[in-house]
Amino acid sequence: MSLPLSHPALLAADPELAALVAAEERLQSDTLRLIPSENYVSTAVLEASGTVLQNKYSEGYPGRRYYEGQQNIDKVEALAVDRAKALFGVEHANVQPYSGSPANLAVYLAFAEPGDTVMGMALPMGGHLTHGWGVSATGKWFRGVQYGVRADTGRVDLDEVRDLALKERPKLIFCGGTALPRTIDFAAFAEIAREVDAVLVADVAHIAGLIAGGAHPSPAPYADVISTTTHKTLRGPRGAMLMSRASHAKAIDKAVFPGLQGGPHNQTTAAIAVALHEAAQPAFCAYAHQVVANAKALAEALLARGFDLVSGGTDNHLILMDLTSRGVSGKVAAKGLDRAGVVVNYNTVPYDPRKPFDPSGIRIGTPALTSRGLGVEHVAMVAEWIDRGVAAAGAGDEGALSAIRQEVMALLTTHPAPGLPQS
């Protein structure tokens, strides 16, 4: 599919870079993107993030800046904050963190001292680097103790989490992660945190859009702090937010600025405001429920084809496939599927006997395909492509992969992606 030329000024000033952007537009238009942390933002979000708001320095917070000329910027940030508070039902929101990782670092700075014990889910079990994993600053500067999922169920065992918390007495407890196909029991985590007097941080980066759309329970009544990126299911620009009760507002704001960051990225703040406005509309609620319906239908179709799914299925937008019984590694499968126009990432599965750079699993999700308007009627086809693609990748059958590529293109042509130039 050839797309019309976009970004004329960029093309004139820097044709080399413009060509790369155009190639990326084509790639996002012409591939079935199944990476669960990715999405398509709207043209409105794209436009907001490319505005002259980016020309401003605004250290501080609305009404309390260290720079003059903030008449408009203050209103932009206040709008984003008010919309976040209304959408998530929280008393305080900070929209300045540059991304999810620095947002989490700010939480450490607000509530812990170097060397303190912190608890989170282990990375290979589905947690995030910033929840105290060893290679991360959070695991080097703090004493990270890590929980996992049960080998027999693939699910978090809250009795194990409680036992570990009682033994280790962490200052912070993180719940949430990057490869969790099941609903997070925020109430149970809050109970455990209360028992050991820890601060409970719900890191909902992956599921924020589902929470906003009412398709996953909200942590707002239970968590001391909610951390989220804005660019995954929430469908905003690359950025993050920290939310809390009013009692923690000061500590969080001080930690983000001046504790960790300088000037906020105002163009991103504006795009977050737009995304939050979009997320408050009925159409977003429908999208969030469709993401889950599509993931459940896709999981069923994969199970029917004999695939092993960690935890046996999904409650949300994400599916973790264990390819061990297929005799194909996650990396070989992911690279083959990529050549078939189906973009996934290779991923460890819990208790993976293989190494992280060539693990046993692939991780897939439905946010991006749902944003393209694909529904449950399409996911049986997706499951078939994955099935044929994994087999072809294992067999090195490039002809079979190209055949899938043609079929993928035929479907995508009828469902143009938001935010991209259309032919």
Ligand X SMILES: *Cc1c(COP(=O)(O)O)cnc(C)c1O
Active site residues: 57, 59, 203, 229, 232, 238
The C-alpha atoms of residue 323 and residue 346 are separated, in whole angstroms, by 10
Number of other CB atoms surrounding residue 31 within 10 Å = 20
Our measurement of the distance from residue 319's CA atom to the centroid of its chain's CA atoms, rounded to an integer in Å, reads 13
Residues 6+ apart with CB under 8 A from 3: 22, 25, 26, 29, 420, 421, 422, 423
Binding test (CB under 6 A) with ligand X, winner from 95, 110, 203, 211 = 203
Q: What is the torsion angle, in degrees rounded to the nearest 10, for the CA atoms of residue 415, residue 382, residue 275 and residue 19?
A: -60
Question: Is the peptide bond between 4 and the residue preceding it cis, with omega within 30 degrees of 0?
Answer: no
Is residue 373 a known part of a binding site? Answer: no
Site stretch for ligand X (CB under 6 A), options 38-46, 132-140, 199-207, 369-377: 199-207
- With contacts defined by CB under 6 A, name the span among 45-53, 97-105, 309-317, 382-390 that binds ligand X: 97-105
265 binds ligand X (CB under 6 A): no
Min CB(174)–ligand X separation in Å: 8
* Residue 104 or 314 having the CB closest to ligand X: 104
The interface mask with ligand X, positions 170-189, x = CB under 6 A, is: ------xxx-----------
Least distance in angstroms from the C-beta of 229 to ligand X: 5
Q: Name which of residues 307 to 366 contact ligand X (CB under 6 A).
A: none
Query: In this chain, which of 33, 206, 248, 372 binds ligand X, going by CB under 6 A?
Result: 206
Q: Does 205 bind ligand X (CB under 6 A)?
A: yes
Q: How many residues bind ligand X (CB under 6 A)?
A: 14
**Choices 67-75, 93-101, 333-341, 376-384 (CB under 6 A): range interacting with ligand X:** 93-101
Query: Pick from 100, 132, 213, 264: which binds ligand X (CB under 6 A)?
Result: 100
- Residue number, 229 or 311, with CB nearest to ligand X: 229
- Report the distance separating Cα 238 and Cα 56, nearest Å: 18
Q: Does 99 bind ligand X (CB under 6 A)?
A: yes
Residue 201 has phi, psi (to 5 degrees) of -110, 115
Nearer to ligand X, 58 or 130 (CB): 130
Cβ proximity to ligand X: between 101 and 290 the closer is 101
Report whether 63 belongs to an annotated binding site. no
- Asked if 374 and 322 touch (Cβ cutoff 8 Å), the reply is no
Of the two residues 205 and 412, which places its CB atom closer to ligand X in the complex? 205
> Which residue, 317 or 388, has its beta carbon nearer to ligand X?
317
- Of 49, 70, 101, 370, the residue at the interface with ligand X (CB under 6 A) is 101
Furthest CA-CA distance within the chain: 64
Taking the CA of residue 15 as centre, how many other CA atoms within 13 Å lie in the half-sphere pointing to its CB? 1
Distance between CA 137 and CA 125 in Å, rounded?
19
Does 236 contact ligand X by CB under 6 A? no
- 172 annotated ligand-binding residue: no
| Residues 242, 227 contacting (CB under 8 angstroms) | yes
- 229 interacts with ligand X by CB under 6 A: yes
Please tell me the distance from the alpha carbon of residue 102 to that of residue 112, in angstroms, as a whole number: 15
Instruction: Provide DSSP, 172-239.
Output: EEEE--SS--S---HHHHHHHHHHHTPEEEEE-TTTHHHHHTTSS--STTT-SEEEEESSSTT---S-
129 in a known ligand binding site: yes
Q: Read off the tokens for 264.
A: 């906020």
- Evaluated on CA atoms 119, 123, 124, 125, the torsion sign reads positive
Which residue numbers belong to the known binding site? 123, 127-129
By CB under 6 A, name the binding residues for ligand X.
37, 99-101, 104, 128, 130, 176-178, 203, 205-206, 229
Which residue numbers belong to the known binding site for (6S)-5,6,7,8-tetrahydrofolate? 123, 127-129
